[in-house]
Structure 1
Amino acid sequence: MSAVTASRWERFRDSYLWYSFRRDKVAIVSLVVFVAMVAAAFLAPVLAPTDPYDLAQIDIMNSELPPAGLAGSDPAFPLGTDAQGRDLMSTILYGTRVSLLIGFGAVVLQSLLGILFGLLAGYLGGRVDAILMRIADVQLSFSTLMVAIIVGAIFKASFGNLMFGEIAIYLLILIIGIAEWPQIARTVRASVLAEKKKEYVDAAKVMGFGTPRIMFRHILPNTLSPIFVIATVQIANAIISEAALSFLGLGMPETQPSLGSLIKSGFDYIQSGSWWITLIPGLVLVVLVLVINLLGDWLRDVLNPRLYKG
């Protein structure tokens, strides 16, 4: 380990962030569960007993088999099977990967848009601020789900079968990302309004630095704390939005499982006794969203300067 790396590790080990994390058991458990779920999802091709995309591995005669321990179960399917005969454990692993891809992708998109528009609105002010914030206000007057439903319905009506290919993932990232950028933009704008009045910004202007450099090299790094907090929570919101859209038939198709589409696929079979098709993916979704929100709450408390005691 180089001296520079050792020095960085020592600073991190002595930081209030690490100190707070070690003392917060909820944050530790949440991070362990989240990392385990992410690792399992992205290692799905290795960990999954079968490939839910491979029709040769699916036998309709194995449909609606209950989880292990219940009458009629098959040891080859520990979590049971769905109505198409797919191994539920495999579909959940692949489905969690799709939901996480959409969640992270949507937050990256909305962060790029929100940071750009928030910086421009907060630093330039005037008409630019008024126009961008009025656009954000209009979009915020509608619920995120409503915007996503409208845009998703337009895409599905316009492109039809394209929604049933892999392009559905990118469309959902685009839809959810566009629907939720105003929240990050308003957060960034509020931070920029406070930062641009400080002396280091005046010093940068005196030194002749251009507006882009001042915004992105000097002001932006000092606004990252609230961005990290809201982005963490937005990942959970994006995953919930994807699940809701898929449940309504405007998201991922059943042939490409996500947690939302898995819940939808089993909803019609609850009354017939095949409750596990919906319940188990639903529990996975609840746990995933819960640990992300708990990590977001911990970050909010740690990165809030008023709570800093180090």
Structure 2
Amino acid sequence: MTTATANASRWSRFRESFLWYSFKRDKVAIASFIVFVLIALAAFFAPLLAPHDPYDLATINIMNSELPPIWVDGADPSFPLGTDSQGRDMLSTILYGTRVSLLIGFGAVILQAALGILFGLLAGYLGGKVDSILMRIADVQLSFSTLMVAIIVGAVFKASFGNLMFGEIAIYMLILIIGVAEWPQIARTVRASVLAEKKKEYVDAAKVMGFRSKRIMFRHILPNTLSPIFVIGTVQIANAIISEAALSFLGLGMPETQPSLGSLIKSGFDYIQSGSWWITMIPGLVLVVLVLVINLLGDWLRDVLNPRLYKG
């Protein structure tokens, strides 16, 4: 079978799947997916779509600061969404900032999924002391709010690294902070699925055939626990984006000189009363829409992957 034939066969099976059938029937899921894809593509191609480069200080003129959007009197047509307090084009900073927020959101979820899957598999399959130790650690961490844990860890990083919290280093730090703060939720979900799966006959058959525990966990049990991971992972992306915005707003995330949705909201917060509402409101609106469509997709995916909840 050629590669083209194999791909055609996979696409044919996908079009006949219940997932595709339910997606076509759900207008909210279709609209949410289209909006998310448009935002993601605009962010990914920010260097090509942005009218200005917010990182190029040579192109930023402080005399252009706080210019309103084009639908407000006194606007400059070269800045469609106005400018911020530093004279940066708001459209450009939002495109670049959304890319940073999405990168942090997906990166943090990948990290917490790796930790959560590993610890959840070990706790659920091995049980005993391993289960008790890992779940007590998770319980202690979950006794605090996720944002509180992220704030504590973020403050420690800020105090330890200081001025190093800039650029790509700040992005990696936030991915690490948010990923470490939220892994217990995935770990507990995976553990519950593993406890149900390890009692089934295919696991007993694998043990009888002499397969090692590592192979049974990762090649037999893990594929059957992916559905809840996909659901919670989708929701966690939205939570990670919100956590980044909150940390940046509190001064523990991306600095104001490095665009992200959180840092853009913070940079304009002090200018709302002076009339420059767009510096905070427009990035805030983008953040709300982005989080909303991700959560709507997560709700649809949850309903589809759980037949008892699906209403058609």
2:261 and 2:300 map into 1 onto residues whose CA distance is 26
Shift of 1:309: 8.7
2:260 and 2:112 map into 1 onto residues whose CA distance is 21
Query: CA, structure 1 residues 61+181, in 2 after alignment: closer, same or farther (shift >3 Å)?
Result: same
2:57 and 2:7 map into 1 onto residues whose CA distance is 49
Alignment of 1:4-15 (within 5 A): 4-15=6-17
Over the aligned positions, Cα root-mean-square deviation in angstroms equals: 1.1
Q: Quick one: which amino acid aligns to residue 213 of structure 1?
A: R
Aligned to 1:28: 30
1:5 and 1:309 map into 2 onto residues whose CA distance is 31
1:198 aligns with 2:200: yes
Shift of 1:94: 0.3
Post-superposition CA distance 1:80-120 (Å, at most 9, x none): 00000000000000000000000000000000000000000
> TM-score, normalised on structure 1?
0.98
Aligned to 1:158: 160
After superposing on structure 2, the runs of 4+ consecutive aligned residues of structure 1 that deviate more than 3 Å are 307-310
1:304 aligns with 2:303: no
Q: Which runs of 5+ in 2 are unaligned?
A: none
Out of 92, 100, 107, which is 2:102 matched to? 100
> TM-score, normalised on structure 2?
0.98
Post-superposition CA distance 1:197-228 (Å, at most 9, x none): 00000011111110000000000000000000
1:274 and 1:6 map into 2 onto residues whose CA distance is 53
Alignment of 1:204-243 (within 5 A): 204-243=206-245
Q: Quick one: which amino acid aligns to residue 77 of structure 1?
A: F
2:210 and 2:37 map into 1 onto residues whose CA distance is 45
Shift of 1:230: 0.1
Query: CA, structure 1 residues 179+4, in 2 after alignment: closer, same or farther (shift >3 Å)?
Result: same
Q: Quick one: which amino acid aligns to residue 290 of structure 1?
A: L
Which SS does the other structure have where 1:160 is aligned? Answer: helix
Alignment of 1:119-130 (within 5 A): 119-130=121-132
Aligned to 2:76: 74
How many matched pairs? 310
Post-superposition CA distance 1:120-144 (Å, at most 9, x none): 0000000000000000000000001
1:280 and 1:305 map into 2 onto residues whose CA distance is 39
Q: Quick one: which amino acid aligns to residue 203 of structure 1?
A: A
1:181 aligns with 2:207: no
Worse-matched range after superposition: 149-158 or 105-114 = 149-158
Aligned to 2:45: 43
Post-superposition CA distance 1:12-58 (Å, at most 9, x none): 11111000000000000000000110110010000000000000110
